[in-house]
Amino acid sequence: MKKLILVLLIAFAGVASADVTPAQQACFDLANNDKAFGDALIKVADKQIDQQTLQAHEDAFHHIQKNEAHVIYAYAALWVIAAGFVVFLWRRQQALRGEIAQLRSDLAHAAKETT
């Protein structure tokens, strides 16, 4: 797809721009008439596009590295929240066990009084 766009741009560059210099026109004619030259232009354009893509990936990598601390803080916050929730559940369970034990003793005491 990149090659097709590049070839179309080269082929129709003279149509799109009215201010084509003689050197540009010679380059366009050479690219249209000489297949090897046209292929060389496409390879150069592909190489430049690949370099731009590589540069974009490297920039994204450095951006992620720079913001790595935020990810670590987010994970730490989630672990603290999870640990707090587990402690909350454990304390609630202990309170329920104590309440059940109190109810059993009250029930046993009430049963003794009625007999």
Rounded CA Rg of the chain: 38
Annotated domain spans of the chain: 1-66, 69-115
pTM over 0.75? The answer is no
Q: What is the mean pLDDT of residues 6-34?
A: 71
In which band, very low, low, confident or very high, does the pLDDT at 4 lie, cut at 50, 70 and 90? low
Alpha helix (H) residue ranges in the chain: 2-16, 22-33, 35-66, 68-114
Sign of CA dihedral 94, 97, 103, 107: negative
d(CA 25, CA 19): 10
Pull the structure tokens for residue 66.
């720079």
The pLDDT tens digits of the residues spanning 39-67 come to: 777 777 777 788 888 888 888 888 877 77
Q: What is the mean pLDDT of residues 1-20?
A: 65
Q: What is the mean pLDDT of residues 78-100?
A: 98
Query: How many C-alpha atoms does 23 have within 13 Å on its Cβ side?
Result: 0
